[in-house]
Amino acid sequence: MEKISRRAVLAGAATATIALALPVSTARAKPAREKEKSLAATTDCGELGSMQACATARQVQDVSGIRYEITNSGSEPASYSVWYVDVNGGPESGRRTISVDAGETAVGYFYGDLGHCFTLHVCSAAEGEEDQCLILGPVCAEYPSEW
């Protein structure tokens, strides 16, 4: 009869213990390819007159990063007031005034609570047009990423 080493017995026992300890749901895990599709960042875009804007949220270390792009496709420079509202009850950001030259795009960032969702508000800052606003979202951070 062949003698089995102590190391082989311990390795077999460890393997059996791990296999028995795995939850049943692990056996039904989705393939990595499907998981990658669900990791896409949440983005929302819209238009208001000659202004196009997009908001994207991603997890950045221990916060949610809200990236916005504002494009002025008009023939004159324009200014916009931009801020976010935390739809999970967190604080509203401060308002920023962004100036965008004709035909140009401005990019900026806000940072909010991790795991929260946000609406981005982009309003015309021109006198008499403050009530013209575009509300994007909610956008939610879904995974860690770099921009």
Whether residue 34 lies inside any domain: the answer is no
Domain count, the chain: 1
> pLDDT in tens for each of the 147 residues of the chain?
556 666 555 555 555 544 444 444 444 444 443 333 333 358 999 999 999 999 999 998 889 999 999 999 999 999 999 999 999 998 899 999 999 999 999 999 999 998 899 999 999 998 888 789 999 999 998 655 555
For residue 133, being part of any structural domain is answered with yes
Considering the entire predicted model, what is its pTM?
A: 0.68
> Is 97 a member of any domain?
yes
Is 14 part of a structural domain of the chain? no
The arrangement of strands across the sheet holding 117-124 comes to: 96-100, 78-86, 117-124, 133-140
Alpha-helical runs (H) found in the chain? 6-21, 24-27, 32-38
- Assess contact for 59 and 46: CB atoms under 8 A: no
Give the number of other Cβ atoms within 10 Å of residue 31's Cβ. 7
CA–CA dist 58, 147 (Å, integer)? 9
Residues of the domain holding 116: 40-140
Question: What CATH number did the domain enclosing 56 receive?
Answer: 2.60.40.150
